Structures are given as structure tokens and as C-alpha cells.
Amino acid sequence: MILEQQIAETFKSVLHDLYSVDIAADSNLVQPTRKGFEGDFTIVIFPYVKQVKKAPDALAQEIGESLLSNSPLIESFNVIKGYLNLKIRDSFWFNFLESEFDNLDFGKVTTRNEMPILIEYSSPNTNKPLHLGHIRNNLLGHSITQILKACGHTVVQVNLVNDRGIHICKSMLAWLKFGNGETPDSSGMKGDHLVGKYYVVFDQEYKKQQKELLSQGYSEEEAADKAPLILEAREMLRKWEANDPAIRQLWSMMNGWVYNGFDQTYSRLGIKFDKTYYESNTYLLGKNIVKDGLDRNVFYQHEDGSVRIDLTEDGLDEKILLRKDGTSVYMTQDLGTAQLRFEEFNPQKMIYVVGNEQNYHFDVLKLILDKKLQKPFGASIYHLSYGMVELPSGKMKSREGTVVDADDLMDDMFAEAKKSTEALGKFQFSDDEAKALYEMIGLGALKYFILKVDPQKNMLFNPEESIDFNGNTAPFIQYTHARICSILRKATETHIELTSKLTISNLGKEEKQILNTLYQFPKIVLSAGENMSPALIANYCYELAKTFNHFYQETPIFKEENVEKRLLRLKISRLVANVIKNGMSLLGIDVPQKM
């Protein structure tokens, strides 16, 4: 039983015995004491004041005295305005350190025997390379996967590639008209960048045609709808769905270029999927589901020929499921993909990591599957909605070519890491070691800066700020880990054996503080899993690194003459290094042995 649960059980007994008040023994009643106050854990007494009919301070004093008598874990207590602060005996912290200081899996729990959780993220379109927005999506999806695994869940990571549709046809058509046979090999461009180039070309030419139609007296809506390029793109989509051989061959070739590009980007980000779905393989299943819903009068056929569902009574509006020309929309393939995943994995939950601009889409998807079609998996759908990420220069638009490509951003981060690290001028590395370090620092800075922000919030990404070695950044945490590794190497060189049993019984203030911080790690991991928020892990790692640096400054290790105190501090340092490594790995971030 964890410490908080033991205290909660004793607290429950005390309330019953003293005041005949019955509560559940919830470990969440016991929280870490706030910084600046004396104590290790705190119980808030205010919720019980009315039931007991005592003043908060008096009630807390009585409960504290009873807890002190009934719990061998509690050494002392103090009361501050209804907050009961408890000091835990040093023996507990010594036992904790001895049992965990060399536990490489500290913070993880045993895998549960249950159905898997399926998480979909990335979901790129094959008409452009991955950009900064995709980076936040991928980093969130990958990190949440690692956190859920650490919480004992079996997780299936899937990617849904949007490889068909009007946006794909736009790139294809522009390449046919303006590409002159250009390929990734002939251009020297990554395939996804090359295809993205022609998506921009389409938009540029399309706007020229709209401008021409406007000059002829057409309205803006008419010009957008009747420009020759958009008409050709729609016809290309119709032919694609009709399996036109030439169109399918072009589509296959250009998508192949994009997949090669995506694979390189994913590899650099450290991301792998258990399965990749393709919209081109699932939209027909979605069409069958729509047909079934139409036959059952869940959906209806509009007078223009499209298939729709009226959700106005549910507080939403009318949703098109098939266009009037019979082609599918995103909702069509999402219906089919959800059905396919249920049949393949029978997951307890299907998590979709998708930006908050798609909140309405997923409200509709869940409502249709759960309440309208009454699918057994409908209620398991969960939209992990996250905020937009912008640069200081403002918003990005793919079709206008103003996005920041993921590859370019990673290159920039590498360059920033190189510049900042060389400015420190402390270590000498071989060229290969230096490149590996710059990549680790650069990508770590990128990942951490994005993941330390609550997923639901919009954020501004500042590359220069992210690489700071002194702020709430990955480089600061990575440097702390490297410093500890240096300390541990020195201990090995001086033949200090960390496996020796500690014989001292008293802890200093700083030692106890950092042990308390370390003790919180498993609870932080579980909370991050429950809230699906890597930000909790990121900010914990920062606080731990700060706490260790203060500890290191206040309690010298190798200058300490007392052998037992030196050993104690080295064991604490080992556990800090393990926790930093484990915590950062949950964010997809590596930490160096030296910097």
C-alpha cells in the first residue's frame, strides 16, 4: 500500500472513531505539502468542519494528534488555517531510496490484463509534407502512447493516411499540367516536399482563374465553383473513384514519393506505428455503412442526391455523408475506419489525436456511431482535442506555401543546438559524437517546448527560447542528467560502491525534499495517463532538475567527509538520473551521458 493510501486509511478511522464521520479512504485526500511550508504531506480539513462543528484549526489539531498516535509513519505535524501538514519519519524515506535507487523501471506499473487502447495520430494528407502542426500532433500521440504504456495499458498506435480526395487531386492535376515530368530524383527534393510544391502551384493557378472570372462579372462563389482547374480536379476525383487506370497509376506514383518522405520524417522524430490505415482502403466500407443507415432510415437522401443526417434535435446541424455525385467525405471513411478497427482490435477506447478545429466533426462521428447507428464501439470514441501551434510570424497555410515544414524546422533546431552548445565551449567531441549530441539537444528542445504546454491550449513555438540551457527547457534537463552521469562516473573511478547498505538514520532538509519529489513520480505518471497530458511529465522533470541542482549546490558530494552521507547523496543522484531518463523518455526525448 502506498504511503498516501496508508495515511488516508488512518485518517478515515480517526474521523469515524472521534466524530462518527464516515468517508472513503481516498489517497487523493493526501497531497504533497506546498513549497514554503513545513511538512511532507497535507490533508485539507475544511470539508469536515460542518459535519464535526468545530473550528478548522481546532479540528486539524485534534486529528493531527490522533494521527500521530495511530500511525507509525508520522513523526510530527503542524496546523496552518485548517491545513494539516504531516512530517514523515526519515526511516520511510531511507526504505524508499534503498528499494528504488537503482530501479530502471521506477514509475512504471505492471501491464494490465485488459483490452487495448487504440490511439490514432499523425493522419497526414498525401498532398504536402508534415509541418509544425503535424509535429505537435505526432509528439502528443507518441508521448501519450508511452505514458499509457507506463500506466500498464496495452496500446495500439495507428496512423490514418488521407490518401484520396479533392486535395490529393489538386496536387496530381498541377503536376500533370505544370510539372514537366519532375521527380524527387530529378529535382533533388524529398517526395513529400515535391508534391507539396504542386499543391501550392494549384492554388496559385486556381486563384488566377478565379480572378479572371471575377473580371467577367461572376460572383466570388461562382468564380470559385466554376474555375476550370477546380472542375478538372473534381472530374479527376470522380475518375479515381471509378478506378480509371491512368489516374490510379499517377496517384500511386505520387503517393509513393510522399510515403518515402514521410518515413524519413517519422524516423527522425522517433515515431513508429503498429498499423497504418489508408483512406483509399476504408472509404468503401464507410459507404456501405452509409447505405445501411440509409436503408434503416437513419440517414436520408437529399433532393440534390446527397446522403445526409439531420442532427438538429441533438443540438448540431445537418451533416453530409455522401456528396451528390456519390463521392465520399471525411466522415464516410471515419465511419468505415472505426468499424474496421473495432473488428480487428476490439479496443476499450479509440483515441483520436486531432486539432480542436475538428471538435464538431468528432461530436458528429461519436453521435452517429453511438446513438444513431448504435454501434457497440460508439461510446468508446474519444477525441483528444489539442490547440493550434503558431510561430512568432503568425498562422500557417499549406495551400499558400506559408507553412513551416517539419524537416526544415528540425534542421533549424539542429543548427540552434550546435550554436548554443559550442558557445558553452566545455566539452570536446568527435564529429560523429557532436552531430549526435546536437540532434539529441535540438530535437529534445523541440519536443519538450511543445509537450510542456497543456494539450488543450494554443501555443506559440519560439525556436530560440526552446534551446535555452537555463530555462524550463529540455537542454536544461538534459544538462542536469549529464551532470549526474559525470558525478556517477567519478564515483566509479574512486571505487565507491553504490550497492552498499546505508547505515545512517537522519536526513538533511535538502535530502528529504528531493526524496519527496522523487517519490511523487509514479503518481505523476498515473495522473498524466488519466488526463492524457504529457505536460504533467514535462513540468515534473523540470521541477526535479531544478530541485537536484539546488540539492547539489547545498549538499556537496565529494567534499563531504562523512562516508555515509556521501553514499546517501550518490544514491539519491542515481535515482534522480533514472527518473529524469524515464520521464523524458515518456516525452520521446533522449538524455545524454555527457554534454
> Counting Cβ atoms within 10 Å, is residue 248 exposed (0-12), middle (13-18) or buried (19+)?
middle
Fold entry, domain 407-585: Isoleucyl-tRNA Synthetase; Domain 1 (1.10.730)
Q: Render pLDDT for 298-338 as a digit per residue (tens, 0 to 9).
A: 999 999 999 999 999 999 999 999 998 888 888 998 999 99
Report how far residue 585's alpha carbon sits from residue 428's, in angstroms, rounded to the nearest whole number. Answer: 26
Q: Render pLDDT for 121-162 as a digit per residue (tens, 0 to 9).
A: 999 999 999 988 899 999 999 999 999 999 999 999 999 999
3 state SS of 456: coil
Report how far residue 517's alpha carbon sits from residue 497's, in angstroms, rounded to the nearest whole number. Answer: 25
Amino acid at position 283, single letter: Y
Q: Render pLDDT for 250-279 as a digit per residue (tens, 0 to 9).
A: 999 999 999 999 999 999 999 999 999 999
Judge whether 121-390 and 407-585 match in fold.
Answer: no
Q: Judge contact between 503 and 509, C-beta under 8 A.
A: no
Report how far residue 557's alpha carbon sits from residue 545's, in angstroms, rounded to the nearest whole number. Answer: 17
Q: Is the dihedral of CA 356, 357, 361, 364 positive or negative?
A: positive
Q: What is the pLDDT of residue 399?
A: 45
Concatenating the DSSP letter of every residue in 367-396 gives: HIIIIIS--TTGGGEEEEEE--EEBTTB--
Q: Within 10 A of 451 (CB to CB), how many other CB atoms are there?
A: 27
- Look over the chain and give the mean of its residue pLDDT values, rounded to a whole number: 93
Q: Render pLDDT for 547-562 as a digit per residue (tens, 0 to 9).
A: 999 999 999 899 999 9
0.85 cut: is pTM over it?
yes
Q: Render pLDDT for 362-388 as a digit per residue (tens, 0 to 9).
A: 999 999 999 999 999 999 999 999 998
Domain boundaries of the chain, sorted by first residue: 3-88, 121-390, 407-585
Q: What is the pLDDT of residue 402?
A: 54
Percentage above 90 pLDDT, the chain = 83
Q: What is the pLDDT of residue 466?
A: 87
- For strands 459-460 and 389-390, give the pairing: parallel
Phi, then psi, of 564 in degrees rounded to 5: -70, -40
Using alpha carbons only, give the angle 407, 413, 417 rounded to the nearest 5 degrees: 150
3 state SS of 76: strand
Q: Judge contact between 447 and 587, C-beta under 8 A.
A: yes
Q: What is the pLDDT of residue 427?
A: 62
Q: Is the pLDDT of residue 1 over 70?
A: no
Q: Render pLDDT for 399-441 as a digit per residue (tens, 0 to 9).
A: 444 568 899 999 999 999 998 888 877 667 888 999 999 999 9
Of 158, 151, 144, 140, give the one whose Cα is nearest residue 457.
140
What number does CATH give the domain 3-88? 3.30.1360.70
Q: Is the dihedral of CA 230, 137, 155, 275 positive or negative?
A: positive
Q: What is the pLDDT of residue 393?
A: 64
The mean pLDDT value for 162-171 works out to 93
Report how far residue 79's alpha carbon sits from residue 42's, in angstroms, rounded to the nearest whole number. Answer: 10
The mean pLDDT value for 5-20 works out to 94
Q: Judge contact between 155 and 91, C-beta under 8 A.
A: no
Q: Render pLDDT for 185-227 as a digit per residue (tens, 0 to 9).
A: 999 999 999 999 999 999 999 999 999 999 999 999 999 999 9
Q: Within 10 A of 189 (CB to CB), how many other CB atoms are there?
A: 18
Q: Judge contact between 12 and 23, C-beta under 8 A.
A: yes
3 state SS of 74: strand
Q: What is the pLDDT of residue 396?
A: 41
Fold entry, domain 121-390: Rossmann fold (3.40.50)
Q: What is the pLDDT of residue 400?
A: 47
Alpha helical stretches, state H, 270-345: 279-295, 330-345
The mean pLDDT value for 7-22 works out to 94
Report how far residue 352's alpha carbon sits from residue 377's, in angstroms, rounded to the nearest whole number. Answer: 14
The mean pLDDT value for 79-98 works out to 95
The C-alpha cell at 451 is 509537450
Q: Render pLDDT for 512-553 as a digit per residue (tens, 0 to 9).
A: 999 999 999 999 999 999 999 999 999 999 999 999 999 999
